[in-house]
Amino acid sequence: MIVLGIETSCDETGIAVYHTENGLLSHTLFSQIEIHNEYGGVVPELASRDHIRRTIPLIKKALQNAHIDLHEIDAIAFTQGPGLAGALLVGASIANAMAFALKIPVLNIHHLEGHLLSPLLSKPAPCFPFLALLVSGGHTQLIKVKGIGQYTLLGETVDDAAGEAFDKTAKLLGLDYPGGKALAELATKGRPSCFKLPRPMRHSGDFNFSFSGLKTAVLTLIKNHEINDQMRADIALAFQEAAVDILTEKSLAALARTGLTQLVIAGGVGANIALRSRLLQETSRIGATVFFPEFQFCTDNGAMIAFAGAMRLLKQDTVRCPETMNCFTVK
């Protein structure tokens, strides 16, 4: 079966074609970063308008690249939520209109389920059950994944998401939106142990996270020092080390508590090299295995939505959003 995936939840228009036997046939993406850059963050109205411009041409391109005719598609998966309402409505409207015209099922996919399953697009893929650390711009969650649609939330951030903390700290350091990647690059020039930042909720005994205090600690540092370029890099490194420490320690604790031996990382912060290498090191030390999505599938993309749709279609589970994920419903 062939599933067309449409992702328009925020500032990326992602389209993909997934074949349940042959895997990913094609994927296309347009990032709106340039559009929002001058505003220092995503402008919802501009995001919706650009999704309207891009979605149909990108669908045509994805079908062409996959050598697939429109009528060969068996189902259309789209991101139902969470995300920006106007942006989501573009994908929802196009998916529903196409599915209606083609008389095929439409699959409402939870954005986080897409991220969660994205490492399964790579080889070797993890097998169920596994523990997932979901670290995106909007969420930070530890989830026990027993199978498709069987998700148990173990813990999550009580304030900022990890990606949000990277972005806000990057802004404090004068870097452009979205700052996560830029902060990681700046951190490579930092000198270790110049600044010590807190590890909030490290000893909370649960699997929840807190990142807003870390960001405030950076703000206090900046206010209290005459900051030069080298110090900016030192602070970026200190922030990244703290974030990586927290994410790693909580993930290892959750592995120990659940007895799971596979850890899956999903979401944009999963592209962070320092986090990847630390998790590789720590999981191998305890005899566990860590799986990452391909770099191009860490941030928002259509492939993860087409894949999640294909998994739901195979399960004959066409419209249900996982209850634990509590998503914004477009109906």
Summarize as ranges the residues that interact with ligand KG4 (CB under 6 A): 115, 136-138, 163, 166-167, 178-181, 184, 267-269, 271-272, 299-300
Sign of CA dihedral 110, 112, 118, 120: negative
Taking CB atoms within 8 Å and a gap of at least 24, the contacts of 44-50 are 44/84, 44/85, 44/86, 44/87, 45/86, 47/10, 47/11, 47/84, 47/86, 47/87, 48/84, 48/86, 48/87, 48/89, 48/90, 50/13
7 binds, among ligand KG4, Zn ion, none (CB under 5 to 8 A by kind): none
269 binds, among ligand KG4, Zn ion, none (CB under 5 to 8 A by kind): ligand KG4
State yes or no: 155 annotated in a binding site: no
State yes or no: 272 annotated in a binding site: yes
The first and second tokens of residue 286, run together, are: 């305890």
Backbone angles phi, psi at 5, to 5 degrees: -110, 135
Q: Kind and range of the H or E element at 251?
A: helix 229-258
Residue 285 neighbours by CB under 8 Å, 6+ apart:
none
- Helices assigned H by DSSP within 259-291: 273-285
If the CB atoms of residues 2 and 279 are measured against ligand KG4, the closer one turns out to be 279
119 binds, among Zn ion, ligand KG4, none (CB under 5 to 8 A by kind): none
**At its nearest, how many Å lie between Zn ion and the CB of residue 249?**
24
If the CB atoms of residues 99 and 307 are measured against ligand KG4, the closer one turns out to be 307
163 binds, among Zn ion, ligand KG4, none (CB under 5 to 8 A by kind): ligand KG4
State yes or no: 136 annotated in a binding site: yes
Distance CA 235, CA 194 (A): 8
State yes or no: 300 annotated in a binding site: yes
Distance CA 170, CA 168 (A): 5
State yes or no: 180 annotated in a binding site: yes
If the CB atoms of residues 187 and 263 are measured against ligand KG4, the closer one turns out to be 187
State yes or no: 110 annotated in a binding site: no
**At its nearest, how many Å lie between ligand KG4 and the CB of residue 134?**
8
State yes or no: 134 annotated in a binding site: yes
State yes or no: 138 annotated in a binding site: yes
DSSP state letters, 315-328: TT--SPPPGGG-PP
**At its nearest, how many Å lie between Zn ion and the CB of residue 112?**
8
If the CB atoms of residues 72 and 185 are measured against ligand KG4, the closer one turns out to be 185
Summarize as ranges the residues that interact with Zn ion (CB under 5 A): 136, 300
75 binds, among ligand KG4, Zn ion, none (CB under 5 to 8 A by kind): none
The first and second tokens of residue 325, run together, are: 């994920």
If the CB atoms of residues 241 and 300 are measured against Zn ion, the closer one turns out to be 300
Give the CB-side neighbour count of residue 257, counting CA atoms within 13 A: 15
SS3 of the chain: helix, strand, coil, percent, to 5: 50, 20, 30
If the CB atoms of residues 195 and 292 are measured against ligand KG4, the closer one turns out to be 292
- Which amino acids are annotated as binding site for substrate, given as ranges? 134-138, 167, 180, 272
- Which amino acids are annotated as binding site, given as ranges? 111, 115, 134-138, 167, 180, 272, 300
